[in-house]
Structure 1
Amino acid sequence: MNLKSRLDEHEIFERVGSAGKRLGLKTYVVGGYVRDLILNRPSKDIDFTCVGSGIALAQEVAKSFEQHVPLSVFKNFGTAMLKLDDWELEFVGARKESYRLESRKPIVEDGSLEEDLERRDFTINAMAISLNPEDYGELIDPFDGVGDIKRKNIKTPLEPGITFSDDPLRMMRAVRFAAQLTFDIDADTFFALSENASRLQIISAERIIDELNKIIMTPKPSYGFKLLFASKLLHEFFPEMVELQGVDSVDDKSHKDNFYHTLQVLDNVCLTTDNLWLRWAAIMHDIAKPATKRFNPKVGWTFHGHEDKGARMTPHIFRRLKLPMDDRMKYVQKLVRLHLRPIALVKVEVTDSALRRLLFDSGDDIDDLMKLCRADITSKNNKKVQRYLENFDKVEEKLKEVEEKDQVRNFQPPVSGEEIMAIFGLPPSKIIGEIKEEIKEAILEGKIQNNPESARELMFEIALSKGITPIQN
């Protein structure tokens, strides 16, 4: 197969080939870009390999431009990178590498193109295109990567146990590529995932979570999670999610399998958002159900308080997985804590007070909370699901009405602590917080309007009931 016509669409390939010729280096496009070219998938990351110094090749390419092109050199790794508009070009010399059993750092040596390709993770990534004058554009495919693309198959070039033992992160990448491309994993390759799952322990949490987040960002991440679960990879880094799986029965009363329910909620929410952290909220929303599961002979299985315990578990899980411990974690934590509130509202006659409290507690995240709650309605009874969703429509309409009328989303009490202290001549003290809290509660309950005049009138009433009088001006 010759791909010259595809290479001719971008002048960078001829430029790199010419630079290699000037240096006397055999030069190739390799890896993911070749795969995506065959799959007709867009890609702005291009890996170039030469038999020799990849850094020297990158420097020669950079010099060939009239304008300055940013060049980054990583001598310790023998690689270099050029940024060209929105393209990232990486250059490396052909190499072979292996891993010590106890280490995540490879032993790297110079190698031939064949050795470079065989060390790669999967056959679909172990292809190259020649940039050399004698066979420019010719596809080099020693492991039938094109065949595996046609078969939609993830398979290792070498015996999979060797590939995964050398670099255990490739096990996560196998699942990630399967999820992104909707490919199957070859049977022998999948068996090796299970056999080598414990090797994942030598990989840093940061690298694992990077692959996991890419799985979560696929259109249907449940497929990737099911592969992670079946291969036992998930057990190595996310045991809390594994514990969701399973169904207990007592006296013919059973609960749903919360693992597969969670995956359905995740897929549902992915239909409405590309927000990674809303997707994480879907993953975490029932994470505390195993810890709160109880059997009551009168009502069956209960999970009382799982939303609050799940919110408390969120920082610990985020910290261990090396997820961000900033506002993104707090956002997920908030949605986990509140995810039952809108569902409870559809079951009862909704009061303005309940809606005001929901708006106040969720703030600017109310729309995302409603997306999560809609996704959480899972049932084999389509009429039941439709009935719940119609009730959610009614709740959302009422939320809009209350918000327009009362303006309580993210509201601060109209009377500040400083104003209370100034009017009554009080020092900072517990009584200031008590007055502000009573004013807030009165607004949320609809007893007074959310404006300074009503709030100040109530402030004087509260103060007088506590024996506090204003100072004389």
Structure 2
Amino acid sequence: MNLKKALNHDIFQIIGTIADDTKVNCYVIGGFVRDFLLNRGNAAKDIDIVTIGSGIELAQAVAKKLKGNPDVTIFKNFGTAMIKYNGLELEFVGARKESYQRESRKPIVENGTLEDDQNRRDFTINALAISLNSKNYGTLLDPFNGIQDLNKKVLRTPLEPSITYSDDPLRMMRAIRFAAQLKFEITSESLDAITQNKERFKIISKERIVDEIHKILMSNKPSIGFRLMHETGLLSIVLPELKALQGIEEVEGQKHKDNFWHTLEVVDNISKTTNNLWLRWAALLHDIGKAPTKRFVKKIGWTFHAHEFVGSKMVYKLFKRLKMPLNDKMKFVQKMVFMSSRPIILAEEHVTDSAVRRLVFDAGDYVDDLMTLCEADITTKNPGKQKRYLKNFQLVRQKIVEVEERDRIRNFQPPVSGEEIMKTFDLKPSKEIGIIKEAIKEAILSGEIPNEHDSAFVFMVEKGKKLGLKPIAI
């Protein structure tokens, strides 16, 4: 098969000409070829070039021929080089064969043939290579029937699966990630091999694991990936907090729902409405507090008291363990988990202005994200209930807009400052100032007074008098 049509960018002709001049064979390989054949839109940005020789030397020669002489970033430890040019990322590597020591994730690398390089690839669909040399420009080299696997939507390893996965255990997560992204099926032999080699996965760095989880979360249907992680045992290693949600208990004829499968439905739901990675993380973790708080209480049934609070605390520990950012992104996920039930309670009751004001006050700029999360949390299979819940949430959203326009609660600032309280009562810094400010805030949130200066000032004076203070400057 000839794929010259895949090589419509000038860069391929340039690389091929230099390869001819230096008498080396070179190929474009891996994801670029796969994505072109799958008609995926990102096929033209990330390009891997493999050469039978030095990838670094080829990269340096190519850079000299490109306009502007772009910099070559060299990774000596890996024998690779990268050029960023006109929106493309070109990575050059010499063909190699790899072997791994049992307790290491770092390979012993030797120079090799194209066949050696294709053997070390993770899947047959990523071992596809297109020649860039003039003698066979555009010719597809497919030693493992990768084209057939693409057509069948199958993920298969070039070598025996246990060898491929044991050599580089991250490939187990990559298999699951590709299954989620491409909606391909992993062969039964590969799934068995992942299960058998799952303990070896523990040598992989947290950063590489999280990168794969992010890609699973950003797929159109993340549940595919998390289901496969669960089935192969990787979930217990990577996200035991999520695995702990799986299962249903029955006591005195009363059951609770399986919170693991419910969570996967929520993640799929939210993925239809947002590409916010951290909101998707919030959906994934919104119920993790239910496992440690699950209790059976006679005459009540199953309870998960304070699971939102417990879950928000668990978010920090999970992020820290996985070496994820402990910054505003983590705090956002914590807040979403902590508040995940608030709009649901509102939607089930009569929506009062006071309750909406408090919701907006507590959620601030994230109130819309919170509503999106809660709407995704509707997983009932009863069409009538689903319609009623969605309608109620729409009423809450409408009420938020009305209250926000009238009362300006989002990012609330007290209409009376601490300095004004001190001046009015001739006070020095003291606890009374905090008591008065808190009382003003509560009065506004409860609807006792409007969120405006004059009304708050009158309220402040009366509150001060009740505390035994005398106003001297009115």
Q: Distance in 1 between matches of 2:171 and 2:78?
A: 19
Q: Please tell me the residue identity of whatever aligns with 2:417.
A: S
Q: 1:454 corresponds to which residue?
A: 455
Task: Report deviation, 1:327.
Answer: 0.9
Within 5 Å, give how 1:17-166 maps onto structure 2: 17-42=16-41, 43=43, 44-166=45-167
Q: 1:330 corresponds to which residue?
A: 331
Q: 1:391 corresponds to which residue?
A: 392
Task: Report deviation, 1:299.
Answer: 2.6
Within 5 Å, give how 1:381-420 maps onto structure 2: 381-420=382-421
Q: 1:234 corresponds to which residue?
A: 235
**Alpha-carbon spacing, 1:290–1:418, altered in 2? closer, same or farther (3 Å):** same
The C-alpha deviation readout for 1:40-88, integer Å capped at 9, x for no partner, is 2122100001111101101111111232323212222211111111110
Task: Report deviation, 1:269.
Answer: 0.7
Q: Distance in 2 between matches of 1:403 and 1:283?
A: 29
State the secondary structure of the residue aligned to 2:247: coil
Q: 1:222 corresponds to which residue?
A: 223
Is structure 2 residue 368 aligned with structure 1 residue 367?
A: yes
Q: 1:246 corresponds to which residue?
A: 247
State the secondary structure of the residue aligned to 1:76: coil
Q: 2:178 corresponds to which residue?
A: 177
Task: Report deviation, 1:471.
Answer: 4.9
Q: Please tell me the residue identity of whatever aligns with 1:75.
A: K
Q: Distance in 1 between matches of 2:14 and 2:186?
A: 37
Give structure 1 stretches of 5+ with no counterpart: none
Are the aligned partners of 2:423 and 2:473 in contact in 1 as well (CA < 8 Å)?
A: no
Q: Distance in 1 between matches of 2:335 and 2:89?
A: 37
Are the aligned partners of 2:289 and 2:314 in contact in 1 as well (CA < 8 Å)?
A: yes
Q: Please tell me the residue identity of whatever aligns with 1:437.
A: E
Q: Distance in 2 between matches of 1:5 and 1:174?
A: 28
Q: Distance in 1 between matches of 2:226 and 2:135?
A: 46
The C-alpha deviation readout for 1:323-360, integer Å capped at 9, x for no partner, is 21111111111111111111111222222111110110
Q: Please tell me the residue identity of whatever aligns with 1:3.
A: L
Q: Distance in 2 between matches of 1:432 and 1:312?
A: 31
Q: 1:444 corresponds to which residue?
A: 445
Give structure 2 stretches of 5+ with no counterpart: none
Task: Report deviation, 1:424.
Answer: 2.9
State the secondary structure of the residue aligned to 2:197: helix
Is structure 2 residue 4 aligned with structure 1 residue 4?
A: yes
Q: Distance in 1 between matches of 2:6 and 2:292?
A: 56
Is structure 2 residue 344 aligned with structure 1 residue 343?
A: yes
Q: Distance in 1 between matches of 2:336 and 2:19?
A: 54
Task: Report deviation, 1:429.
Answer: 2.7
Task: Report deviation, 1:472.
Answer: 6.2
Task: Report deviation, 1:176.
Answer: 0.4
Q: 2:192 corresponds to which residue?
A: 191
- What's the TM-score, normalizing by structure 1? 0.97
**Alpha-carbon spacing, 1:31–1:187, altered in 2? closer, same or farther (3 Å):** same
Task: Report deviation, 1:258.
Answer: 0.3
State the secondary structure of the residue aligned to 1:97: strand
Q: How big is the alpha-carbon RMSD for the aligned residues of Structure 1 and Structure 2? A: 1.3
Q: Distance in 1 between matches of 2:425 and 2:166?
A: 72
Q: Please tell me the residue identity of whatever aligns with 1:29.
A: V
Q: Please tell me the residue identity of whatever aligns with 1:222.
A: S
Q: Distance in 2 between matches of 1:114 and 1:320?
A: 39
Q: Distance in 2 between matches of 1:3 and 1:384?
A: 53
Q: Which 4+ residue blocks in structure 1 deviate beyond 6 angstroms?
A: none
Task: Report deviation, 1:266.
Answer: 0.6
Q: Please tell me the residue identity of whatever aligns with 1:6.
A: A
Q: Distance in 1 between matches of 2:169 and 2:251?
A: 41
State the secondary structure of the residue aligned to 2:309: helix
Q: Please tell me the residue identity of whatever aligns with 1:33.
A: F
The C-alpha deviation readout for 1:97-145, integer Å capped at 9, x for no partner, is 1221111211111111110110011111011111112211111111111
Q: Please tell me the residue identity of whatever aligns with 1:74.
A: F
**Alpha-carbon spacing, 1:10–1:430, altered in 2? closer, same or farther (3 Å):** same
Are the aligned partners of 2:223 and 2:265 in contact in 1 as well (CA < 8 Å)?
A: yes
Q: Please tell me the residue identity of whatever aligns with 1:19.
A: I
State the secondary structure of the residue aligned to 2:66: coil
State the secondary structure of the residue aligned to 2:77: helix
Q: Please tell me the residue identity of whatever aligns with 2:85.
A: L
Task: Report deviation, 1:462.
Answer: 1.6
Are the aligned partners of 2:416 and 2:453 in contact in 1 as well (CA < 8 Å)?
A: yes
Q: 1:287 corresponds to which residue?
A: 288
Task: Report deviation, 1:421.
Answer: 2.6
Q: Distance in 2 between matches of 1:351 and 1:432?
A: 29
Q: Distance in 2 between matches of 1:167 and 1:264?
A: 31
Q: Distance in 2 between matches of 1:467 and 1:97?
A: 81
Q: Distance in 2 between matches of 1:116 and 1:71?
A: 23
Q: Distance in 1 between matches of 2:398 and 2:134?
A: 67
The C-alpha deviation readout for 1:244-284, integer Å capped at 9, x for no partner, is 00000112211110000000011111111011111111111
State the secondary structure of the residue aligned to 2:350: coil
Q: Distance in 2 between matches of 1:226 and 1:69?
A: 44
Q: Distance in 1 between matches of 2:134 and 2:69?
A: 27
State the secondary structure of the residue aligned to 2:348: coil
Q: Distance in 2 between matches of 1:383 and 1:178?
A: 34
Q: Distance in 1 between matches of 2:302 and 2:164?
A: 45
Q: Distance in 2 between matches of 1:260 and 1:311?
A: 20
Q: Please tell me the residue identity of whatever aligns with 2:133.
A: N
Q: Distance in 1 between matches of 2:153 and 2:67?
A: 43
> Matched residue pairs, number?
472
Shifted more, 25-34 versus 418-427: the winner is: 418-427
Q: Please tell me the residue identity of whatever aligns with 1:30.
A: I
Q: Distance in 2 between matches of 1:429 and 1:204?
A: 51
